[in-house]
Structure 1
Amino acid sequence: MSMDFLIILFSLLLWTLVATATATASSFSLHGKGFKHRKFSSSDNNYSIEETINESYAVIFDAGSTGSRVHVYRFNQQLDLLRIGHDLELFVKTKPGLSAYAENPEEAAESLVPLLEEAEAVIPQELHPRTPVKVGATAGLRQLEGDASNRILQAVSDMLKKRSTLKVEGDAVSVLSGNQEGAYQWVTINYLLGNLGKHYSKTVAVVDLGGGSVQMAYAISEEDAAKAPQVPDGVESYITEMFLRGKKYYLYVHSYLRYGLLAARAEVLKVSRDSENPCILSGFDGYYTYGGVQYKATAPPSGSSFSKCQNVVLEALHVNATCSYKDCTFGGIWNGGGGAGENNFFVASFFFEVADEAGFVDPNDANAIVRPVDFEDAAKVACSTELKDLKSVFPRVKDGDVPYICLDLVYQYTLLVDGFGIDPQQEITLVRQIQYQDSLVEAAWPLGSAIEAISSLPKFEKLMYFL
């Protein structure tokens, strides 16, 4: 065998070993732990970024009546929450809400820019183009007159398309219907509690008291859903059908516009028609402003009164309105028929805030077990207190809420008991946050919206969709 032949043979063997090692290293880089962080071109072994990512983010803006908030969530492919830094969500808020800029839509849009910048900063740059962003406006924008709401929504949409690197779909900016808001809130709370995918009787009912509206939502049986009254064209159905974690749910949802806490103050003051109102603390004579309208708020010479205030609240709620069905809540609205899905109530938003001001929950707690009668007991004390003494009795009441603390407590008690038919002694859960894994997550509707948005992405489990 010649020396030249041996040299050629050795060279071929060496080339084969190098090629094999290179292929092995390439295979490892594709399938090893570092795979999802590597960027590929469309011609790189036919792999694309869409095929390599097994997590996704969602950015949801809650444009409420009292302020704007942004939530950022990170999910794995099974739609479980993953950490963003030390927490399971980014949550940032600002005041006032978009509805405060009714005369200046561009300024409304600019108010969201600082929130947008904070949201984008926590999302890896390469994931921006596939991260959905949504802006959901609630009762504050629903109540604006004329085309003010549409002009604000258009300005926000234009701002996102111009300023954001996130995925902005055509329906990214909208006014949520009351039923959407209620359904998303129900999904959020039951998701965080681990109830989704279970029988409807294992889920909890939700009452969410915002500034402009209040929503009630709970799961009912298919048989009860079939008994739901038909509604006129243009009116939201009582039943929302949803598919969640492999199970179909029939969700009773109703939203009561003008009966959120801040809007309800106006409704209660309307009853007195510019005369003295027994829900206003003795010593106060002024005006309450809501939605750009002023309402006279004056205490009678005898001061506020629990029983007299409750009569006014009952009138404002139209509790005695004609009920065309077997059972109603208030205002002649069908109550869903009750059932096992209504056995356990989680009550959110302003309920916790007022209970905190009244001193019967710890403001540092994420949630608290109370009874409606706790609101009644606090209301009786508040309504028998003069304006000048209120802070010494309820030191945590915010200055702007002082004249209305009797009204707020009476309203919340009456709404729960006479409006929604909850027994005064029944235990309910006031909730701000819910522990998920080992972190606390805001018990707010944007998580439900984020789950729906992520469920529609390729490669992710279709945890949720509306039927």
Structure 2
Amino acid sequence: MTMPSLLLTLSVWLLAGSLLAEATYYRHHRYVPHFYRYREHSANAENLLPEVSNPEPEVPQPGVPTYPKIPEVFHPAPEVIHPIPEAFHPVPEVVHPAPEPYHLPEVYQPVPEASSPVNTSRVFYGIMFDAGSTGSRIHIYKFIQKDPVELPVLDNEMYHAVKPGLSAYKDNPEEGGNTIRQLLKIAKKTVPEEDWKRTPVVLKATAGLRLLPEDKANALLKEVREVFNESPFFVPNNSVSIMNGAKEGVLAWVTVNFLTGHLYSNTRKTVGILDLGGGSTQITFLPRSKKTIESAPPSYIANFNLFDHKYQLYTHSYLGNGLYAARLATLGALGADGLDWKVFTSSCLPKKFREDVTFGGTTYKVSGIPDGYAGYKLCYYEVMKVIKGVVDQPYEVKGSSVFYAFSYYFDRAVESGLIDGSRGGALEVRDFKKRAKEVCNKMTKYRAISPFLCMDMTYITCLLKEGFGFKDSTVLQLAKKVNNVETSWALGATFDFFRNLNIH
């Protein structure tokens, strides 16, 4: 009896093992419905799991041993976590390193369908006001960033200007604020409404406000801040300020070299800039000779990082040597007393010319010399007194450096017929001198264009030759725009705002 009992026990044990293996096989290989599909969150639908029909419970068969059910563990699909909207980071990657990254309010960007190609292009805008001595200008830049790790593309610029400048409203700040309010209307038409809250608006004032008493300038800046706060645009801290003159030159250099493509090049070939405004004038270039740096006043050398390169520029802004301020200085009127009864005369003006001239909110009586002489030589002598000993001559400009000249250099070259206003062009310094002589010796002919044309052309000639020390054969590229963008400091200042250039 021992052997049959042992065989029966062994058979039962083998049968139980077979049934257990079969049950385990079916449990692990049966069809489990796909109950969750990843999809983009919709504002009109909740993230609900689809219903799953439960299989019928198994009915125990008689004579078949039952085993305790092992609970089946379903690991649910990971919870859909919607990414935090990317902080708006309109960063023209013009600088390395960026000591103070600039963050604007967060903007929601929907997550693309997993099956569709991802479009990483972003469009953003920047609004920069140039509050100059003779006018206020608005620059509205549209950028496209196609790749987060690459530089953005400047798509286009919208530009508009009004006259006179803010400094003309030194005794009526509210009216000055209205001129900025009018320009903001243009910005609202240019920037899409959905982008208003993330588009920064900034105003930088230049020589016009630098020449004003501090209390007058501050009243104007306060009024502009109030106008900005009324607008629908993003108003960052320190959005309204007076810009340092040296920084004005550096940022104009950044603009021109960015637009001409020199900042993308590894050759380190750049172009210098000459900017002639109403109240001040700037010269900025990248020296090739150590002697230029060693012989320059220390404050004329600026250092900063740009596009992974360190730059050491020669730059200076001459306050009071802009075209309109220089006119008054030549006449002996700038800073003079007794303006109600004094008449300021010059041999640079037509003999029979007499007129009231307003600059920076102050009116001056000016005229030619009715019984005296007029002409180029006498005018050159008068202008020399404004420049000689005031303007530094960089060692290197006597060489073959390439310079772009704009603002009133360009305007007066157009008015005197030296270049075409729509295209600009290249001129030698001697071309200004030759045309200045012609204009001054035929003032009657050119008076209809401007009675100050003789004085202006002579001043430009003297500034280039006696001031900066350019040779007669030095070629200047006259341009109002490069690639359809204004040649001014405004674009460079927009870059500076988005990523501080750490200029020192």
TMscore range, shorter length: 0.7 to 0.9
| Rg comparison, structure with higher value | 2
Comparing 98-107 with 193-202, greater Cα deviation is found at 193-202
Report SS of the residue matched to 2:171.
coil
What CA deviation, in whole Å up to 9, does each residue of 1:226-251 have, x standing for no partner? 636666xxxxx212112111101011
| 2:301 is equivalent to residue 239 of structure 1 | yes
Aligned 8 A contact 1:57 1:72 in 2? yes
Give yes or no for contact 2:398–2:471 (8 Å, CA) kept in 1.
no
In structure 2, runs of 5+ residues without a counterpart are 1-29, 43-79, 89-108, 110-120, 335-341
What code does the residue aligned with 1:153 have?
A: L
Residues 1:67 and 2:135 are matched in the alignment: yes
Residue in 1 aligned with 2:486?
442
**1:127-182 per-position Cα deviation (integer Å, ceiling 9, x unaligned):** 33332221001111111125100010011112212x12222122110011111111
Change (3 A) 1:176 1:283: same
Q: How many residues align?
A: 396
Match of 1:382 among 435, 439, 455: 439
**Which 5+ residue runs of structure 1 have no aligned equivalent?**
1-8, 28-42, 232-236, 322-330, 457-463
The answer to whether the 8 A contact 1:218-1:342 is kept is no
Measure, in 2, the Cα distance between the counterparts of 1:200 and 1:312: 43
Partner of residue 207, structure 2: 139
Provide the C-alpha distance between the structure 2 equivalents of 1:71 and 1:244, rounded to a whole number of angstroms: 22
Residue 210 of structure 1, aligned match among 261, 267, 277: 277
Matched letter for residue 475 of structure 2: E
What amino acid maps onto 1:390 in structure 2? Y
Q: What is the correspondence of 1:364-383 to structure 2 with a 5 Å cutoff?
A: 364-365=422-423, 367-383=424-440
1:311-330 maps to which residues of 2 (within 5 A)? 311-317=381-387, 319=388, 321=389
Q: Where does 1:343-358 land on structure 2 (aligned, <5 Å)?
A: 343-358=401-416
> Quick check: 2:196–2:232 contact (8 Å CA) kept in 1?
yes
| Partner in structure 1 of residue 347 of structure 2 | 278
| RMSD (Å), alpha carbons | 2.9
Please report how far the alpha carbon of residue 336 of structure 1 lies from its aligned counterpart in structure 2 after TM superposition.
4.2
Instruction: Tell me, yes or no, if the aligned pair for 1:346 and 1:429 is still in contact at 8 Å.
Output: yes
Q: What whole-Å deviation, never above 9, does each CA across 1:337-370 have from its counterpart, x for those lacking one?
A: 42799700111100111111111211221x2111
Contact 2:343 / 2:366 at 8 angstroms: preserved in 1?
A: yes
> Which residues in structure 2 correspond to 1:166-205 (within 5 Å)?
166-198=233-265, 202-205=269-272
The TM-score, its normalising length taken from structure 1, stands at: 0.77
Aligned CA distance change for structure 1 residues 353 and 261 (closer, same or farther; 3 Å): same
CA contact (8 A) 2:343 2:364 kept: no
Distance across 1 between alignment mates of 2:194 and 2:400? 44
How far apart are the structure 2 equivalents of 1:293 and 1:82?
Answer: 41
Cα deviation, residue 62, structure 1? 0.5
Q: List aligned pairs for 1:62-461, cutoff 5 A.
A: 62-75=130-143, 76=145, 77=148, 78-83=150-155, 88-161=156-229, 163-198=230-265, 202-220=269-287, 223=290, 227=294, 237-270=299-332, 276-291=345-360, 292-317=362-387, 319=388, 321=389, 331=390, 333-338=391-396, 343-365=401-423, 367-387=424-444, 389-390=445-446, 397=449, 402-435=450-483, 440-455=484-499
Q: 1:347 to 1:230 in 2, by over 3 A?
A: closer
CA contact (8 A) 1:182 1:255 kept: yes
| Structure 2 SS opposite 1:147 | helix
Distance 1:118 1:274 in 2: 41
Distance 2:476 2:242 in 1: 30
Structure 1 residues 226 and 269: CA distance shift in structure 2, 3 A: closer
Note the C-alpha offset of 1:82. Answer: 3.8
* CA–CA distance in structure 1, aligned partners of residues 261 and 135 of structure 2: 29
Query: Could you report, residue by residue, the CA deviation over 1:316-345 in whole angstroms, capped at 9, with x for unpaired residues?
Result: 21x1x3xxxxxxxxx1x5444427997001
TM-score under structure 2 normalisation? Answer: 0.72
| Higher share of residues assigned helix | 1
**Preserved CA contact (<8 Å) 1:286 1:296:** yes
Q: Equivalent residue for 2:71?
A: none
Give the 3 Å change call, closer, same or farther, for CA 357–213 of structure 1 in structure 2: same
Distance in 2 (alpha carbons) for counterparts of 1:340 and 1:422: 5
